[in-house]
Amino acid sequence: MRIFKRIMLGMGGLIVLAVVGLVVKFYALSPKVGPVRDMHAPTDAESIKRGEYLARHVYGCTGCHSNVHADLPGDPEMEDQLGVGRDFGDFPDIFPGRIRSRNLTSDKTAGIGGWSDGEVIRAMREGVSRDGSALFPIMPYPTYAKAMSDDDALAVVAYLRSLPPSTNDPGRMQVDFPISMFGRAVPKPLVTPAPPAPLASDAKARGEWLLVACSCGDCHSTVNKRHEPLPGMYLAGGNEFPIPNKGKVYIANITSDVETGIGSWSDDEVFESIRHGISKKHTGRALYGMPWPNYGGMTDDDLHALVSALRRVPAVHNAVKPDDLKL
């Protein structure tokens, strides 16, 4: 009996230590918050225009942080509500909480008008809000940390500062426990900023950069139930994505596998799929789920470079379910 009590006490002690360890790791030591850098976005028209191109057609900032026409293929943005934030609603089958993106306009209360440029850039690349809280990594800051240079980040901020202020408040992102706890450990200070993006003259390097900067893998790489990328399934698709009031789409395999990916597509067909949302797989129907109105705004050179980069991704055989949509 005494031995049993000792065993139980020992197990209880281990449980207490484990709980204390989790609290320390995820609440006392996380998120890791780096200093705010003294950075100042340019204000000239050329920089703002470049920032608009990056924010809308490469990094996809406005695609998530704007109200959209959710009933139309590709979720095209409402031009008069760019950057005002968005309440995506509840997706109980695929996300533990409620997805909301914040207002990025210059309003000082609802938006980021009271933030310094350095605070905005820290949030974009390090996943830490102005108050030091962790941003949930559905915001692809780990990707931007790898692909967004200082110059690009400043250009994006220059564009965001040009958006008309809006008082729209979508509310705070809600993530259920324990996923919310694990998310606190993702942010980390940026030690070395990404190098400048390759120029269009180096099409191969530019395409490889675009493949990362456009966050293609964040949607098209196959994940497990915890939304962790599966090894060897880069861009292999299969993830479920709900379309409000219409059903579900299953993200396409965009590797060069001939049977289950885009290996049988011509370069022009891949190009048109991104530019105009026209899919060889869904002949006669525009794509839902894929934000092609954003990425379709790339220059011809950038889009051709991206298509070439996709062709170089190793083929993965992964048959994706057909979409379940009521159109």
* Domain ranges (residues) in the chain: 45-183, 203-325
pLDDT of residue 14: 46
Please determine, for residue 106, whether its predicted confidence score (pLDDT) is greater than 90: yes
Contact of 299 with 263, CB cutoff 8 Å: no
Does the structure show a pLDDT above 80 at 76?
A: yes
pTM for the predicted model, two decimal places: 0.89
For residue 188, give both structure tokens: 């980390």
pLDDT band of 161, cuts 50, 70, 90:
very high
Please give the Cα distance from 31 to 265 (Å, whole number): 44
Q: Is the pLDDT of residue 133 over 80?
A: yes
The pLDDT value recorded for residue 25 is: 43
pLDDT at 20: 45
Nearest to 35 by CA among 128, 167, 152, 146: 128
For all residues of the chain together, what is the average pLDDT?
88
* Protein fold of 203-325: Cytochrome Bc1 Complex; Chain D, domain 2 (1.10.760)
Percentage of the residues of the chain whose pLDDT score is greater than 70: 89
Long-range contacts of 221-227 (CB under 8 A, 24+ apart): 222/318, 226/179
Task: Indicate whether 226 pLDDT > 90.
Answer: no
Q: In what order do the strands lie in the sheet with 174-175?
A: 86-90, 97-101, 174-175
Q: Quickly state the pLDDT bin for 282 (edges 50, 70, 90).
A: low
Cβ-based neighbours of 209, under 8 Å, separated by 6 or more: 147, 197, 198
Higher pLDDT, 311 or 282: 311
* CB of 193 closer than 8 Å to CB of 82: no
Q: Could you tell me if residue 131 is left (phi over 0), alpha (psi between -120 and 50 degrees) or otherwise beta?
A: alpha
pLDDT (0 to 100) of residue 21: 44
Which residues, 6 or more positions from 13, have their beta carbon under 8 angstroms from its beta carbon?
none
Burial (0-12, 13-18, 19+ Cβ within 10 Å), 208? middle
Q: How far is residue 214's CA from residue 268's CA, in Å, rounded to a whole number?
A: 20
